[in-house]
Structure 1
Amino acid sequence: MSHYCIGIDVGGTNTDAVLLNSSRAILSTVKTPTTKEPSDAIQTCLKKILRGSFVDVKKVRALMIGTTHFINAVLQNDASKLARVAVLRLAYPYTTFCPPFVDIPAKLRSIIQGHYAIIKGGKQISGEEISKPSRDEIRNQCVIMKEKGLHAIVIVGVFSSLEKEGESQEELVASWIREELGDGVDITCSRSIGPTGLLERENASILNASMLRYARHIIRSFVEAIRRLGLESQLYLTKNDGTLATAKEAAQVPIKTFSSGATNSMRGASFLSRDFLETEKCGALVIDVGGTSSDCGALLPNGSLRQAAAFVEVGGVRTNFPMPDVSSIGLGGGSIIKFKTKHAGGGFAVEVGPSSVGYRLASEAVVFGGNTLTATDIVAASGSLEDTKIGDHQLAEERVSPEEISLTKEEIKVKLERLVAKMKTSPEPVPLILVGGGSIIAPEKLKGCKDVIRPPHYSCANAVGAAVALVSGVVDTIEVLEGKTLEETVIPLKAEAIQRAVLAGAKEETVEIVEVESIPVQYVTNKTTRIIVRATGELSAEKEPEYMPSPAQGIKDLWLDDFKQYEPEMPLPELLPFHDLLIPDHVMEYKPCITEEGEWQLSELDLFWIQEGCGILGTGGGGTPYSPYLMARHLIVEGHNIRVVELSSLEDSAMIARTAFMGSPSISSERLAGEEAIKANILMTNFTDVQPAAVISEEIGGGNGIEPMILASSKYLDVPVVDADNMARAYPNMWQSLLGAYDVFGALTPCAISDACGNSAILASTSTKWNVENILRTICTELGSSAATSHQPLAASVCKQFSACGTLSQAWRLGRALSDCRKRNDLKSIPRALTELQSGNLLFSGKIMNVEREVREGFTWGFVKIVSFKESTEEDVLSEDIQDDGSLMVEFQNEYLCATLLGVGSEMGKVQAIVPDLICLLDSTGIALGTPEVRYGLRVSVIALANDPKWTTTEEGLRCGGPKAFGFEHDYVNMLGEYKQPRSVIEEYMPKNALA
């Protein structure tokens, strides 16, 4: 018995449908304008496609719908669809320096920020509670939320993603809120949205909560349209990863469908262009031009979608769940055209989008007798649509002048070329596949594209992509591996993931395991590990549809309440000033602010570049620099100063404070800092009775390169930060500093350690320097595996002799180089740009095929195996030369330690780089990846940079930080060239009339 499926794409302008048989042959396609009520357009499409194909409705077993409604609401900052959100963060006293909403773009933030509170709760990475949630505190917050008229609530707890379902603090707090406020509120628990990474998971949860009622309204309308026609099909919505969600699941987590429109267009373009791709054996860019937006993504040579890097921005909001690498702009066939006078006396400019008439194109566009000038009207007036049956072209010709037509077409062309340039990874021309009904506004030739292809059924590519989407089954659980192996533990989990996929509707014979990820919980002795297993398969036409109520049975009851457009019931909340960061078009022409006294006054842009450079210098460790960067940037926006001086400018007798965080790198992305460093410094100041004149970082790598800036800012100590550090990279042990390596008196003790909860201690002295790590690590573990330390201040004369100078400048230059390459859309030149700043090599480029981790003595040991792009059939991203064969193994202990090239058939090959030199993994955009962030499937390039000669050329340095310090048998050999002393930013940009 034959069965059929229907794929539907509900765009902002048009709704498309495609009918496929069980062999995935396209039998029919239709297109109709999207209506204000999406169900009307869906019903129209279904009627047309069913009547035109004479298919028995009872044989249509599945409807897959993809929609851009949700992401368009974010891209357009549509206050009529986005509700204000209250965030309750279970974290206090942690995370206080980095509040909710802090890195959400200002315009969107002004719409969705309703209230936030950082309250008791949260977990340590070990599973122990930071504190228990307070019922009274929740009750008080409910009073506030009710007074503000907020119905969208996010609960985000520290390390909630590691909690088991049904046992989480977030779920407990949600139950309390429902008891206080009833079932009329929408509650999003962050653990259901994303993995570890508090800010990113919180941001995604905020976006999800802001549109829950709107999502229910849209999905309910889909159900109504289906049932009115007597269809008994199972309804699915397509998700960001190209798999399917049931209607009920999608109504609870609409953010997981945010990029489904783009994903469907890419999958549809791949399906429709498979003959071209197979013949050319190359990758291609895809642009899907709808009525409201244009989405650009990339197909790899094997036809699969290029996946995004470690972090993804959605409407400028940083998130961390897997998504295709897609960039969107507000340009489509319905984009509204506005002409503006440039200046008095002549000349005008044109504005194309991002506003759009959307589904009203067929009534409001000029070619259809309306009064709103759109991109479609301009192209029609130019004569480019002579062969199409789109409205009355003459009406458009009478509305605009030839000069206006030319100016607008050029602006459309420039916008699309910029989009192409942004998504390209090399300057060479690439094939471009144009899909979507709005692609008629695109010119036949675009700069940077060697072929522009419109495949058959191009206007319905999204619907095709929806129809061929897969079904997934995911198991995400915490397992104790003590006494058993990971391999034997994963076997039943794989079977469960496959079973879940089959139960969700996948053909059993097509289901395969596509991802297994294990994440050890560090500093837990029983090998507690989070394991994620994912299986996918084709949708089975034989699956009986799940029960869905008919309209007569009350769909309203299923989806709770009717959606009402958001109307502010009170003035929008007063926001702290936080501006969007702008990277200058000509990056290398930017000049930092250096005073005549030789102080570098850091700007927001300086901070951004420094944090990117700190990520590279962290060599995979040191914790994420992103959240400390946000904290420091927030201080600058509030009006506080952060200033940098050269070490040489200080008097030898000046005392320099030293601060850093110690503990697990995994903690810093989740349990964000509070006042730990401030409290540790106060304790050390009281103990030594020394008032510091400056602050220096113990390690420049990772978050510790930024943290001292917060302490030194005018809000706290109001002293400068020194352009130097005591490691020149990141190392896992406290004694692995240059001061420790050379046995400087007072280098390691006395030392203060503190958490944010009021727990602190002074370690006055130890019998050996190695005991400093052992004792403080024990304390740190009790404090949740992360704490701030403050060492005894040292005289500037000591730091001048033993510290690594110019490392802040080096971080700034590395970050600036990355921005310059991105601005020029020349990602392949990133390794060369970085190794021109510091002696080094590009070691390898490829795809991560395996990551193994284990916890030994409190540290995460493991390796990353990377195969060449040729072997993995994927495109080369940050390399100009593709390896013919082989793979690279990078071993790590919190930081990357040794990179070894493995030849075909060989068990061990040649070492390419090893500590103390710096090994760094860069993602597809050049962002440095920490060891907790590497995962299967990421495309990476591995570079190595030379380290300070105090590490590499002396017996003391190699004994403390060289290969044998980590148990390697290899002797250190310089394979990267002579170390380049970083040029001081202050020296280069000092005003010419400054005092000598």
Structure 2
Amino acid sequence: MSSTDAAKPTRHLRIGVDVGGTNTDGVILDPLQASSPGKGILAWHKAPTTTNPSAGINDAITAMFESAAISPSEVASVTIGTTHFVNAVVERDASRLAAVAVLRLCGPFSKHAPPCVDWPDDMRQMILGHYALLKGGLEVDGNLISDIDEREIKEQCAIIREMGIKSVVINGVFSPIDTLERQEERAAAIVKAELPGCDVVCSKDVANLGFLERENAAILNASILSFARKTIKSFQEPIKRLGLHCPVFITQNDGTVLSGEMAAKLPIRTFSSGPTNSMRGAAFLAQGQISEAVMVVDIGGTTTDVGLLHANGFPRQQAAYSDLAGIRVNFSCPDIKSIGLGGGSIVRKTDRGLTIGPDSVGHKLQQEAIIFGGSTITATDCMVQAEPDLDIGNGELAKNLLTDEQLSLFKKALQGKIEKAIDKMKTSPDDIPVLLVGGGAILSPNKLRGASRVLKPEWSQVANAIGAAMARVSAVVDTVKSTEHKSNAQLLEEISKEAIEKTVSAGASRASVEVVEQEALPLQYIAHKTRFIVRAAGDFDQEKIQAQEASKEDHGESDNDMGQYERLPKRPETTPKQHIDVDIDTSTYRPTVKNRVWYISETDAEWIATGCYILGTGGGGSPYSHLVRLKQELRKGAIVRVVNPHDLADDDQVGCGGGVGSPTVGIEKLPADELLEAQDELFRVCPNPATHMISIEIGGGNGLQAMILGASTNMDLPAVDGDWMGRAYPTKWQTTPVVFNERSPIWSPIAMSDGNGNVVVMPRATSDLAVERILRAALAQMGSSTGCAESPVSGAETKRWVVEHTISQAWRIGRGVARARKENRVDNVAESIIEECGGSGAGRVLWKGKIVGVERTLRGGYVYGECFIEGVDVRQDDDGLQQDGAAPPSFQGRIKIPFKNENIAALRVREDGQDEGQEDVLAIAPDLITVIDAQNGEAIGTPEYRYGLLVVVLGLAASDKWTGSQRGIDLGGPAGFGIDHLAFRPLGAFVKPRSVIDEFDRAL
């Protein structure tokens, strides 16, 4: 025995198994030999997945033991990747999904967006059994909204017991930052005591900030717990039968692992682990050859999955929210793009040439492909013809499938599809190493445009199992801290220590743990508050894990094993009203307008919300939660009316209201009745009650508020088709009534409510600037999110000051986006939006490209920053892929967009590095500069700017209410944002939006 062998620990081998929908892959790996030419791979196995995953795992490990003569006593761990849990949700399998009760700790907040409100109807009816809104919740600064009430939690437990529900979710406002009150944990202890044997899921254990999305994820997690326990037990059984006395781990979405025990509690964290395993396995196989970020291209039988693996060894994650079976969630998922290209892709000869996929013979390749005696021409057949040396099937059968010209077209098309997919995922125009894995990797050439190197490592066909075997342990801390007395650097250091300790507790060896990600995001409108996100990762502490495993006894499935749940009828009072979505024909849809009144439908509301965010010029906050509320009101029977401002009588009184505060607070503390409370308090001191409502800004979430307020039960007022900005601005003095300056202050008296019993009323003020400063100071003490009510103005004043028909404009923009999607014209959605806003003379596409840099800082409660966009072609082909990466001449180079919550300007960056001059201004406020996602036409707000997003930058001419006077330009232009060295230069001629009422009034 060599000295090296003597130094080896008894248990040091790792087994990785990936149980996929088609194949079960396995590998046995010696990490001590990872740097050797053989990468420490002692055995590998690939076979079709069995109906019973336990049998497939058993067969894979048994085969590998036999081929490598390995003793079970040498195995330190088994790590399994699986799609079983996500399949249960995607397939809507009622036998694997249990009913769930939801207890919100929210005080008066979130009442207008009940649990599962935005779910597909069938999923909501299947899973949501009961919900209740209870006392509790925190403000963003950690202060209490209210403390939990043990008595009311026990009352709800009695209801849950009576209904026979065995899974409970507890979700508290700002619970992810609750380290002192521990409200969710305290509530969970009460539920467990009242309902022994019940599964209780705390939302903070599942996901981070984002109230509805975190709750959705927690509900899905709770629903599959019983199935998850059974599945994980079935995974563990063959391990024990084979004499493997070692821990079993399950891979999770971010490329790290959970213990079997934790995976049984948090199965949702495994939903997207398959692609991540492939990426990390590819990086392991290429170690020693790369030390930078790398693009992993996994070519299977049906699809090609492309993802970016950072230099830290972890995949790039998706944006804040993702969609799972039509449900919006915010748990961590890798950013993977899939295209219809694989070894089984069907190749067809047409009069116009050749097509490849996107349909595929998939796992039937060995039965249906030509080289295996089948009758279907596949991409593998054509590649064997092109490369006769490939030892796959019977190459003789593929000799004359294609002509030389067709074969050339085939190879060019293959290469083009792969290159486009890679370019779509890149975060800079620089070349990047590309790792090819998967059974279909033979399809790719050895040189690709955009790739600095193309590597096809050995054993790449089982990269997913290798990634599972070598997965690490990680932990994330996502919190909000005050920066008043400590710098970002000091706080990051403290939070990093917390993340490291959390990772060690999860099973990592302390010496191996390192911080792999850090992010600091200042909170808008909140002085001295920043959101910090820190991730740490490390290798297994094998000795500790084995000691823990040895101390465990086998108690069967779980103390919580309750078998199949009894499905009892849901109480009608707790089940949201059923709503059936209707597929709208966007080309023929007509809004309901009668006698000069527009009656808003759900379709109208959705289109208006889309348009509002685009008109928000990066600010105003996402309208999503407000849209959910408006649709809820409509489903309850509310009548939402909109009238033309020109139909107002001179003595009408037009009230105004809207939300004020940080969008980050808004994603967590959903509205209560603060808007209505502010209106009620205002009318106590205001002699003239409102007869109509108008939104202070059409941009962002406030664009829906006039309709929401008008439809409320105690107001029932029509909304005016217009607003006081025509976009979004960060301050109240940046409004058109202030521009006209016919009286001052305009916004006095004014009232502000936090929705939790605290109201500020200002009967008098010296100026609108004073109103802004005083309310901002109060805002910080009122949870950084409030509702405001501004004193009504007369109908005559409204007709002079209003930016008219902006609800109509938002509706038309939303309709244009919907049509582009419906007709597969997302490529020219920007041009469609411009056409809806008056045509080429009223706006233009300023830039198309990729976000390659974002810088943010907090000053005076506002987030200032710059977004850098590199010019690239963002068009799509039939596979949803980006076209050739080179940008058209007009978009070559780079621009930057400075912002103060909203976008201020679009400036071309000079290649000589000199400061921008007047000639470099593409557009500047008060003209509207808005950034939209090139892939779906949706607006992207300044908080959502991130590296790698493909975007289109639009410029729209501002209303002449702003540009018609020097005062308007001063207040709404660059000087109003604190930029004095740039002058306003209009990008086009404003065209007044066409009124929906004027166009569709049936009385005409």
TM-score of the two chains, using structure 1 as the length reference: 0.79
Separation in structure 2 between the aligned mates of residue 893 and residue 324 of structure 1, nearest angstrom: 30
TM-superposed deviation, 1:541: 9.8
TM-superposed deviation, 1:98: 1.1
Separation in structure 1 between the aligned mates of residue 494 and residue 701 of structure 2, nearest angstrom: 38
Distance 1:529 1:714, change over 3 A: closer
Match of 2:1000 among 965, 990, 995: 990
Counterpart mapping for 1:729-768 below 5 A = 729-745=727-743, 747-768=746-767
Partner of 2:15: 6
TM-superposed deviation, 1:199: 0.9
Separation in structure 2 between the aligned mates of residue 536 and residue 867 of structure 1, nearest angstrom: 31
Distance 1:492 1:754, change over 3 A: closer
Match of 2:970 among 941, 953, 959: 959
Counterpart mapping for 1:589-608 below 5 A = 589-608=587-606
AA aligned opposite 1:16: D
Counterpart mapping for 1:288-687 below 5 A = 307-325=317-335, 386=373, 460=462, 462-467=464-469, 469-491=471-493, 493-494=495-496, 497=499, 513-520=515-522, 527-536=528-537, 539=539, 545-547=545-547, 549=549, 553-556=553-556, 559-562=558-561, 564-570=563-569, 575-579=575-579, 581=581, 584=584, 587=586, 589-687=587-685
Partner of 1:72: 87
Mean CA deviation greater in 201-210 or 513-522: 513-522
Distance 1:21 1:153, change over 3 A: same
Separation in structure 2 between the aligned mates of residue 194 and residue 676 of structure 1, nearest angstrom: 27
Whether contact under 8 Å (2:106, 2:134) holds in the other structure is: yes
SS in 1 for 2:87: helix
AA aligned opposite 1:810: Q
Separation in structure 1 between the aligned mates of residue 821 and residue 422 of structure 2, nearest angstrom: 10
Partner of 2:185: 171
Q: What per-residue deviation string (whole Å, max 9, x for no partner) do you get for residues 399-419 of structure 1? A: xxxxxxxxxxxxxxxxxxxx9
Separation in structure 2 between the aligned mates of residue 511 and residue 909 of structure 1, nearest angstrom: 44
Mean CA deviation greater in 513-522 or 788-797: 513-522
Separation in structure 2 between the aligned mates of residue 471 and residue 921 of structure 1, nearest angstrom: 37
Whether contact under 8 Å (2:872, 2:885) holds in the other structure is: no
SS in 1 for 2:212: helix
Separation in structure 1 between the aligned mates of residue 883 and residue 281 of structure 2, nearest angstrom: 23
SS in 1 for 2:277: helix
Q: What per-residue deviation string (whole Å, max 9, x for no partner) do you get for residues 1-32 of structure 1? A: 58543321223565332334543465543345
Q: Does 1:852 align with 2:856?
A: yes
Q: Does 1:85 align with 2:85?
A: no
Separation in structure 1 between the aligned mates of residue 244 and residue 871 of structure 2, nearest angstrom: 46
Distance 1:939 1:227, change over 3 A: farther
Q: What per-residue deviation string (whole Å, max 9, x for no partner) do you get for residues 203-223 of structure 1? A: 111111112222222223323
SS in 2 for 1:121: coil
Separation in structure 1 between the aligned mates of residue 76 and residue 829 of structure 2, nearest angstrom: 49
Counterpart mapping for 1:722-801 below 5 A = 722-745=720-743, 747-801=746-800
Match of 1:842 among 836, 841, 846: 846
CA RMSD of aligned residues (A): 4.8
Mean CA deviation greater in 922-931 or 662-671: 922-931
TM-superposed deviation, 1:304: 8.8
Distance 1:322 1:948, change over 3 A: farther
Mean CA deviation greater in 789-798 or 77-86: 789-798
Distance 1:827 1:595, change over 3 A: closer
AA aligned opposite 1:534: R
Q: Does 1:150 align with 2:178?
A: no
Separation in structure 1 between the aligned mates of residue 186 and residue 888 of structure 2, nearest angstrom: 54
Mean CA deviation greater in 917-926 or 299-308: 299-308
Partner of 1:248: 261
Partner of 1:862: 864
TM-superposed deviation, 1:854: 2.3
Q: What per-residue deviation string (whole Å, max 9, x for no partner) do you get for residues 442-473 of structure 1? A: x99xxxxxxxx999878755434434545434
Q: Does 1:948 align with 2:948?
A: no
SS in 1 for 2:664: coil
Whether contact under 8 Å (1:828, 1:878) holds in the other structure is: no
Mean CA deviation greater in 308-317 or 715-724: 715-724
Match of 1:896 among 903, 907, 918: 903
Separation in structure 1 between the aligned mates of residue 105 and residue 822 of structure 2, nearest angstrom: 39
Separation in structure 2 between the aligned mates of residue 325 and residue 877 of structure 1, nearest angstrom: 21
Distance 1:828 1:332, change over 3 A: closer
Separation in structure 2 between the aligned mates of residue 434 and residue 604 of structure 1, nearest angstrom: 46
AA aligned opposite 2:716: D
Partner of 2:379: none
Whether contact under 8 Å (2:962, 2:969) holds in the other structure is: yes
- Unmatched 5+ stretches in structure 1: 334-352, 354-373, 389-418, 427-431, 445-452
Whether contact under 8 Å (2:591, 2:604) holds in the other structure is: no
TM-superposed deviation, 1:750: 2.0
AA aligned opposite 1:324: P
Separation in structure 2 between the aligned mates of residue 264 and residue 285 of structure 1, nearest angstrom: 12
SS in 2 for 1:29: strand
SS in 2 for 1:666: helix
SS in 1 for 2:15: strand
Separation in structure 2 between the aligned mates of residue 33 and residue 149 of structure 1, nearest angstrom: 39
Separation in structure 2 between the aligned mates of residue 638 and residue 331 of structure 1, nearest angstrom: 46
Q: Does 1:191 align with 2:204?
A: yes
Q: Does 1:127 align with 2:129?
A: no
Mean CA deviation greater in 670-679 or 724-733: 670-679
TM-superposed deviation, 1:128: 1.2
TM-superposed deviation, 1:36: 6.0
Q: Does 1:920 align with 2:930?
A: yes
TM-superposed deviation, 1:901: 4.7
Whether contact under 8 Å (1:309, 1:938) holds in the other structure is: no
Whether contact under 8 Å (1:592, 1:600) holds in the other structure is: no
Separation in structure 1 between the aligned mates of residue 66 and residue 53 of structure 2, nearest angstrom: 20
AA aligned opposite 2:268: I
Partner of 1:976: 987
Separation in structure 2 between the aligned mates of residue 498 and residue 282 of structure 1, nearest angstrom: 26
Q: What per-residue deviation string (whole Å, max 9, x for no partner) do you get for residues 826-855 of structure 1? A: 555444444454514434633454443325
Separation in structure 2 between the aligned mates of residue 638 and residue 761 of structure 1, nearest angstrom: 31
Partner of 1:16: 25
TM-superposed deviation, 1:141: 1.1
Distance 1:964 1:101, change over 3 A: same
TM-superposed deviation, 1:35: 5.4
TM-superposed deviation, 1:780: 3.4
Separation in structure 1 between the aligned mates of residue 456 and residue 95 of structure 2, nearest angstrom: 35
Mean CA deviation greater in 593-602 or 874-883: 874-883
Whether contact under 8 Å (1:289, 1:434) holds in the other structure is: no
Separation in structure 2 between the aligned mates of residue 325 and residue 486 of structure 1, nearest angstrom: 28
TM-superposed deviation, 1:755: 3.4
Distance 1:424 1:818, change over 3 A: farther
Mean CA deviation greater in 76-85 or 946-955: 946-955
AA aligned opposite 2:664: S
Q: What per-residue deviation string (whole Å, max 9, x for no partner) do you get for residues 326-374 of structure 1? A: 58999999xxxxxxxxxxxxxxxxxxx9xxxxxxxxxxxxxxxxxxxx9
Separation in structure 2 between the aligned mates of residue 749 and residue 948 of structure 1, nearest angstrom: 25
Separation in structure 1 between the aligned mates of residue 983 and residue 129 of structure 2, nearest angstrom: 56
Whether contact under 8 Å (2:163, 2:570) holds in the other structure is: no
Match of 1:104 among 119, 128, 137: 119
Q: What per-residue deviation string (whole Å, max 9, x for no partner) do you get for residues 568-593 of structure 1? A: 14457573334365665x64x14232
Separation in structure 2 between the aligned mates of residue 750 and residue 943 of structure 1, nearest angstrom: 37
Q: Percent identity?
A: 37
